[in-house]
Chains A and B, each alone.
Chain A
Amino acid sequence: DGGITQSPKYLFRKEGQNVTLSCEQNLNHDAMYWYRQDPGQGLRLIYYSQIVNDFQKGDIAEGYSVSREKKESFPLTVTSAQKNPTAFYLCASRRLAGSADTQYFGPGTRLTVL
């Protein structure tokens, strides 16, 4: 089955710790995205990458970091500099060729800071 996997589904972190969220896709998509969702709100873009070894900040990148060493993987690190990290994190991917405007989403990781 082709798709996007995110792990873990639930993650707990103590204050002051960095934590890395995994996102893997086997859709051969070029672009990948990380969004944050807070209760009762829409999604906000954290980072995106359109090609391996390149990525761009989204609207709320402060306190986060990413890497794109492989086409299929786009891990997100939530650093201790992120003031309010408790949220639901969603990864998405998209094919770049042609008029491929649709983003497909993973199942999400719920991060809770204790």
Chain B
Amino acid sequence: GNSVTQMEGPVTLSEEAFLTINCTYTATGYPSLFWYVQYPGEGLQLLLKATKADDKGSNKGFEATYRKETTSFHLEKGSVQVSDSAVYFCALTLMIKAAGNKLTFGGGTRVLVKP
């Protein structure tokens, strides 16, 4: 079946540090890949996505590249801020209508940025 594995947290950083959150996946087919962010007490917001190999998604200083050869979609940010403290979820979907085009999520990685 399909699955997403991401590094366990919490990840604690100082402001302006470099952030990497590893995400690897297994899928039967060619999935679209996503990073969602969840701030405390809120729903999930789409952070970025990539739909095919070698695509780079980017938003708000975050980047992730779809690496088919390593089945990875690692999230990076060069200089984090306190406001980046949140839980980050890696997810995939295969565009299969019969399966509802559902998202498969990783377990989430909590990031805490200290001033």
Instruction: State in angstroms the CA–CA spacing of A31 and B57 once bound together.
Output: 24
Known: A107-B42, A107-B43. A43 touches B103 (CB 8 A): yes
Q: When the two chains form the complex, which single residue of B32, B44, B108 contacts A105, counting CB atoms closer than 8 Å? A: B44
Question: Across the interface, do B108 and A41 meet the contact criterion of CB distance under 8 Å?
Answer: yes
The answer to whether the Cβ of B93 comes within 8 Å of any Cβ in the partner chain is yes
Assuming the contacts A42-B105, A48-B102, asked whether A101 and B93 have C-beta atoms less than 8 A apart, the reply is yes
- Chain A 23-44, CB-CB to B under 8 Å as 1, else 0, gives 0000000010100000011110
Q: Is the CB of A50 within 8 A of B100?
A: yes
The reply to whether the CB of A17 lies closer than 8 angstroms to some CB of chain B is no
How many interface residues does B have (CB within 8 Å)? 24
**Chain A neighbourhood of B101, CB < 8 A:** 31, 50, 94, 101
> What separation, in Å, do the CA atoms of A107 and B42 have in the docked complex?
5
Q: List which A10-68 residues lie within 8 A (CB) of chain B.
A: 31, 33, 40-43, 45, 48, 50, 56, 58
Task: Give the secondary structure class of A's interface.
Answer: strand
- In B90-112, which residues have CB < 8 Å from any A CB? 93, 95, 97, 100-103, 105-108
Residue of B nearest to A57 (CB): B100
A108 touches B105 (CB 8 A): no
Q: A84 at interface (Cβ–Cβ under 8 A)?
A: no
Given A42-B89, A90-B44, A108-B42, A101–B95 Cβ distance below 8 Å? yes
CA distance A94 to B108 in the complex (A): 22
CB-CB under 8 A from A43, the residues of chain B are 44, 89, 103, 105
Interface size on A, residues (CB 8 A): 27
Q: How far is the CA of A96 from the CA of B95 in the complex (A)?
A: 10
Q: Which residues of A line the B interface, CB within 8 A? A: 4, 6, 31, 33, 40-43, 45, 48, 50, 56, 58, 90, 92, 94, 96, 99, 101-108, 110
A-B contact pairs, 27 of them (CB 8 A): A6-B43, A31-B101, A33-B103, A40-B107, A40-B108, A41-B107, A41-B108, A42-B4, A42-B89, A42-B106, A42-B108, A43-B44, A45-B100, A58-B100, A92-B44, A96-B97, A99-B51, A99-B95, A101-B32, A101-B49, A101-B93, A105-B36, A105-B43, A105-B45, A107-B43, A108-B41, A110-B41
